[in-house]
Structure 1
Amino acid sequence: MPTYSASDIAPTGVDRESLVVAGDGGLAIAGKLRPTLSGVGAGATWLAFGWSSLHWPDIGDWARTDAVAYVAFGVAALIVVTTTAHAVLGRFGQGMQQRAPWLLALGVFLTVWELATAKFGWLPLPFFPPPQSIVEVYTDDLPKLLDSVVASVKLQLGGYFIGAAVGFLTGVSIGWSRLAGYWVHPILRFIGPLPATAWLPIAFFTFPSSWSASTFLIALATGFPVTVLTWSGVASVSSAYYDVARTLGARPSFLVTKVAIPAALPHVFVGLFMGLGASFAVLVVAEMIGVKAGLGWYLQWAQGWASYNNMYAALIVMSLLCSGAITLLFRVRDRLLVWQKGVVKW
């Protein structure tokens, strides 16, 4: 029986050489499709999570059980496909392959969580709601949650930028001028170590509104680390840099803006990073006590109504917001400090 190659059966008008090359390319791609143990394991855990959600009877009435199960099946398929083809998919595939062990651990956690809450009730309700109950918050209570997110972001941005600006200018002044250091340093040593939340009674009494008082507290929490680290960065600049600039005829303003501040930027970004974490902590406390909107207020409201699924949903959103803000700060840092890119990772 005669045998034929791909070039022999090519239709009229088709370039036989290109057909052979295309066939070889397909074989090359197929040779790169290799399932990985971590990828298959991660997909299996998400498949188990979806199966347990869909086929095991619930002990309560959860409206989003089927939706959670189908999403889990989709995630399982995505993990297996992307990790199998990670050599072909570029950065996305490599990223999925690198995160496969974490995806496996997350799948195991979600499966155990589902079984311990929605299926067998090992953990008491309402303190430990099942995953589908938290998903239900994101679908049914989304407008109120989004309003709280917007309010928190506005309050956080206002206080953080004010504190960062004041802290930066104060730190540069102390680090550059001995006179400024003489007068400001004792005040900084007295006020700075106090937790910003300790000023709550004074702030809410002094300022005309809870919003302005909360902005002041967030700015205070941000300003202290930014001031100290900026001061340290400016003071630690080598005198040789100033000597070279003075030899070239540089004025004092040039020494500050073109020598001291650029050399101190690594310290400044460390202060901004520390101030961001401190400001988020103060944000939650201020919103719980005085502000009538925001994620801190939402947490207080959820706890008052024993809606622990709403509380956990808000905590997840807060974690994502804080992590995203820190990631953005590091992106800015890597762009401005190219010579230090990758030294500190987040």
Structure 2
Amino acid sequence: MSTTADKLFPPPIPVAAALRRPTAHTPASAHAERLSPWWGGLIAALAWGVLGSLTYAWPNKEVGFSDWAYTTEFAWVAFAVAVVLATIGLAPALAGALLPRLRLAGPWLVASALGLALWELFTAKLGTLPTPFFAPPQSLAEVFISDGERLIDCAANSIKLLLIGIGFGGGTGFVVGVLIGWSRQANYWIHPVLRVLGPLPTTALLPISFYFFPSSWSTAVFLIALGTAFPVAILTWSGVSSVNKNYYDVARTMGASPWFLVLRVAIPAALPQVFVGLFMGLGAAFSTLVVAEMLGVKSGLGWYLTWAQGWASYPNMYGALLVMALLFSGVISLLFLARDRVLSWQKGMVKW
């Protein structure tokens, strides 16, 4: 029999039953999200539809030549993207496991369509940005179709040169950093040299390097390695020298040898800073790569930029810049994956 007190103060819900109730992160709410329209996708579809309509319906302004190639094809690609986004927006379940990522990228999908529309408007349609210095988005399609083989060859040569230089520089900088961080004598002799020569821009050493190395390719490898080695050496030294001394004392009481202290205590503790040095060294390596290829190397993205500029082929130059951006961001992404894999045992202890 229920009393007035029971009606006013019902018994608490058991914890297990409360946990079974749907919340914002339960499968029930996720299922509801899949059934409800994805409004961000519908807005993105509208933006891409505007881009396609602008490109297709508005005639290009003729400046010094007949017309921009692949304008119609670019418009149909924009329409196709709009159809796909509208379909997913109306039926989000079709995206499957990609739906969370698409929801996260929704604002970027809108912004990219609007950015391309403005680019198209001020170049091909109005001619506000003068040719040949500025070209519309569809000109990149012409570059990749007509000169894609040469771009791929140049990108392959650039990534080969970059990886060899980073490999030599990163390995040398790591060894030097561990050495000066562990040995006082090495620190006494090597550290002042790093303080004097390290801050010098690697591109300033190009004239001297061309004299000492037999080819421009080996000069480029040396300069890329030098630009990578300095930050890796400095941050590795900082990481090794800042290891908590208690770690060494505990390892010594258990009979650890000096080699064990270096390989199993100092280096693992310094790895987060080693990766920071690699990230910093990649920036110097990218700029050195482009400058070295512009001045001496006979193939590569830097050489392609110089060649395109010499022929006033600015769409080709923009295509090379796009490939360069994707290539360098891919290298950075791979380094992030390597860092997460190597430092998985420190997850939760190190914040990036």
Deviation at 1:312, TM superposition (A): 0.7
After TM superposition, the structure 1 = structure 2 runs for residues 1-346 of structure 1, keeping only pairs within 5 Å, are 32-60=34-62, 61-86=67-92, 89-338=95-344, 339-340=346-347, 343-344=351-352
**Preserved CA contact (<8 Å) 2:38 2:88:** no
**Preserved CA contact (<8 Å) 1:85 1:93:** no
Q: TM-score, normalised by structure 1?
A: 0.88
Amino acid at match of 1:37: W
* Residue number in structure 1 paired with 2:27: none
Deviation by residue 1:49-82 (Cα, 9 ceiling, x = unmatched): 1111112111241221121111111212222333
**Preserved CA contact (<8 Å) 1:82 1:96:** no
Distance 1:91 1:337 in 2: 27
Three-state SS of the structure 2 residue aligned to 1:130 is: coil
Amino acid at match of 1:281: S
Deviation at 1:88, TM superposition (A): 6.3
Amino acid at match of 2:58: W
Shift in CA distance, 177/85, structure 1 to aligned 2, threshold 3 Å = farther
* Residue number in structure 1 paired with 2:3: none
Q: TM-score, normalised by structure 2?
A: 0.86
Shift in CA distance, 213/124, structure 1 to aligned 2, threshold 3 Å = same
**Preserved CA contact (<8 Å) 2:202 2:227:** yes
Amino acid at match of 2:260: F
- Shifted more, 184-193 versus 51-60: the winner is 51-60
Three-state SS of the structure 2 residue aligned to 1:180 is: helix
Number of corresponding residues: 317
Distance 1:147 1:234 in 2: 41
Deviation at 1:253, TM superposition (A): 0.3
Note the aligned Cα RMSD (angstroms).
1.7
Deviation at 1:187, TM superposition (A): 0.9
Deviation at 1:170, TM superposition (A): 0.2
Three-state SS of the structure 2 residue aligned to 1:99 is: helix
Deviation at 1:143, TM superposition (A): 0.8
Distance 2:87 2:102 in 1: 10
- Shifted more, 76-85 versus 211-220: the winner is 76-85
**Preserved CA contact (<8 Å) 1:171 1:229:** yes
Three-state SS of the structure 2 residue aligned to 1:124 is: coil
Distance 2:199 2:57 in 1: 56
**Preserved CA contact (<8 Å) 1:83 1:93:** no
* Residue number in structure 2 paired with 1:24: none
**Preserved CA contact (<8 Å) 1:86 1:97:** no
Identity, in percent, stands at: 56
Deviation at 1:89, TM superposition (A): 3.5
**Preserved CA contact (<8 Å) 1:134 1:309:** yes
Distance 1:69 1:133 in 2: 13
Distance 2:85 2:245 in 1: 55
Amino acid at match of 2:131: L
Amino acid at match of 1:99: A
Three-state SS of the structure 2 residue aligned to 1:42 is: helix
Shift in CA distance, 226/85, structure 1 to aligned 2, threshold 3 Å = farther
**Preserved CA contact (<8 Å) 1:87 1:94:** no
**Preserved CA contact (<8 Å) 1:222 1:276:** yes
Deviation at 1:40, TM superposition (A): 1.4
